Amino acid sequence: MLKIRSAFLLFIPLLCSVSTPPQQQKDDSNYTYKTASEGGIGKFYYGREIAHIMDFSGSSWLERNSRQVEENSNLAVSKMPINENSVVADIGAGTGYYTFKIYNRITKGKIYAEEIQDDAVNYLKNKAGQLAAMNVIVVKGNEKSPELPENSIDLALMVDVYHELNYPHEMLQSIRKSLKPKGKLLLLEYKAEDPKVDIKPLHKMTVKQANKELTANGFRLVEDGEFLPIQHYLLFEKN
């Protein structure tokens, strides 16, 4: 197992929701609240504490030179169920690390690069312009919805993002509406079952926990790919 550098402990992937103090949200029936642990926000979903997120100031970690070796992102992309006509959504796209690995594989399709932070949205727009990536559509979402068109997406993906969603129930329901009838949702999440994956605990997930939460929101697990070095590749289909 590759020894993960200490940077993994310092710069956990951003992006997709900005935390709101849980004491302001105790009327949310889908969630429970306790004293926050280190790195958490004190808000729990199906027994899992939601992780605190970073803002875009930590974005250089997403583009680190060692990422391909550490995560084998090229392999992850090669396994994705997409073709030249696919419509894809990269939810919590960050710097577009995955967006810009995918866009040239869907030459007749398009990819929505979704973010809620203005700095990230501007970065994505600038990079898409520099690459003349006309099939990249940058979307500003919010904490409860990625603001995608309904019944339009073949594949939605969240790369090291799901565990940080401040409103996982609402986001999953919104994503589900955006998927086509056989649309799929892909989660890449650091493996909580493997103690050698040197990531803070709240930024890792088990297959069991992810499946529990996704099943409760109208998804079924169709592929549990354990071929990546430090991440789960969990492909769900809309029921």
Beta-carbon contacts of 41 under 8 Å, excluding residues fewer than 6 positions away, are 19, 22, 49, 50, 51, 52, 166
pLDDT digits (tens, 9 = 90+) for 116-156: 999 999 999 999 999 999 999 999 999 999 999 999 999 99
pLDDT of residue 54: 73
Cis bond before residue 179 (omega within 30° of 0): no
Residue 2 has pLDDT above 50, yes or no: no
Q: How confident is the model at residue 55 (pLDDT cuts 50, 70, 90)?
A: confident
CATH code linked to domain 17-238? 3.40.50.150
Please, are residues 19 and 42 in contact by the beta-carbon 8 Å criterion?
no
Tokens standing for residue 129: 């312009």
The pLDDT, as a whole number, for residue 177 is 98
Dump pLDDT digits (tens) for 227-237: 999 999 999 99
What is the rounded distance in angstroms from the CA atom of residue 205 to the CA atom of residue 116?
23
Between the CA atoms of 139, 12, 123 and 96, what dihedral angle is there, to the nearest 10 degrees?
-60
List, as one string, the DSSP characters of 100-141. Answer: HHHGGG-TTSEEEEEESSHHHHHHHHHHHHHTT-TTEEEEE-
Give the model's pLDDT for residue 7: 40
Pair type for strands 32-33 and 40-45? antiparallel
Dihedrals φ, ψ of 57, to 5°?
Answer: -65, -20
Residue 40 has phi, psi (to 5 degrees) of: -115, 170
Q: What are phi and psi of 51, to 5 degrees?
A: -80, 145
pLDDT of amino acid 52:
92
Tell me which range, 1-10, 27-36, 63-72, is most confidently predicted by mean pLDDT: 63-72
User: pTM of the prediction?
Assistant: 0.90
* Structure tokens belonging to residue 224: 């549990």
Q: Which pLDDT band, with edges at 50, 70 and 90, does 27 fall under?
A: low
Q: Output Rg (C-alpha) for the chain, integer angstroms.
A: 17
Name residue 167's amino acid. Y
Q: Choose among 232, 225, 184, 179: nearest CA to 209.
A: 232
C-alpha of 70 from chain center: 18
How do strand 231-238 and strand 219-225 relate by DSSP bridges?
antiparallel
Domain ranges (residues) in the chain:
17-238
CB contact at 8 A, 153 and 180: yes
Element (H, E) at 191: strand 179-191
